[in-house]
Amino acid sequence: MPLNLQKNLPAVELLKTEHIFVMDSLRANSQDIRPIRVVVLNLMPLKITTETDLVRLLSNTPLQVELELMKIKGHTSKNTPVEHMREFYRDFDNMRDEFYDGMIVTGAPVERMPFEEVRYWDELTEIFDWGRTHVTSTFYICWAAQAALYHFFGVQKHDLPSKMFGVFRHTMNEPFLPIFRGFDDEFYVPHSRHTEVRRSDMVGIPGLTLLSESDEAGVYMAMARGGREFFITGHSEYAPNTLDDEYRRDLAKGLSIAPPTGYYADNDPSKPPIVRWRGHANLLFSNWLNYYVYQATPYHLNDIRHLGDL
């Protein structure tokens, strides 16, 4: 079944051109099914692009998924029309009494700042804590993963000498977990970040399991509470041209930036990208929805607060 989205969300029309079937809430309401409720806290600057990337992956499942968009109260996006934010996003204050099967928290362009200096840090950590009693399973992506690891486990982030930028090979430490169902022994993930979390800071922390790493990119995935929380340092959701867009944007700004590693054909920026992460990305999100969201959620959503670890 397709994704149930708010009527007129731009992602709907964009994805129709890729022959991805999504439907708006009017049609979804005619189906006698309780949809899986997923809320996205979108902290990325190009919000419509991020929405489209996530919808593309969340639609690849037989489940009917109802997607809602959350924003930080009072935060004004500089790169997204105010009309879009007003129509499709809700403040956390207006959602705090609701329950969700899944939550995704995206990265944010604040990774070089100390966490406590981020203007919305207090509200963000309140949302993190709220997720533990109001959401079955939460996916933290890139900076959000670093922020949640710091908030819940005291894991520090570290500046990198140069940007981790490209598509890198990864392996699994726990290959038989449901999150990895269907994965090859080696798989590829895009990364785009100036900071990292380190294995040495994470190993041995009670309740935190390191699931996947890369020789080049370091820690990729960790899990807590039996799958009620996943921390993903890369960008599996990226569209084919996203790294190219970032590279050319930085060049246009006059920044010293190397081409993304392992991305262009023959590592030549004049040639098109080679997409090597799409299969992994689809499996990652469908496994999360199927095993850690759908199968784990109680029939009555407000019973989530009584769930233990999965």
| CA 128/CA 231 separation, integer angstroms | 12
Distance, C-alpha 156 to centroid of its chain: 20
Q: Closest by alpha carbon to 212, among 164, 179, 239?
A: 179
Q: Which of 134, 213, 237, 280 is catalytic?
A: 237
DSSP string, 226-276: GGTEEEE-S-TT--TTHHHHHHHHHHHTT---PPPBTTBGGG-TTSPB---
Residue holding tokens 């200096």? 117
Is there a catalytic annotation at residue 235?
yes
Residue 161: exposed, middle, or buried by beta-carbon count in 10 A (0-12, 13-18, 19+)?
exposed
Is there a catalytic annotation at residue 237?
yes
Is there a catalytic annotation at residue 134?
no
Q: Which of 134, 170, 235, 280 is catalytic?
A: 235
Helix (H, G, I), strand (E, B) or coil at 29: coil
Q: Which of 51, 111, 142, 280 is catalytic?
A: 142
Please list the active-site residues. 142, 235, 237
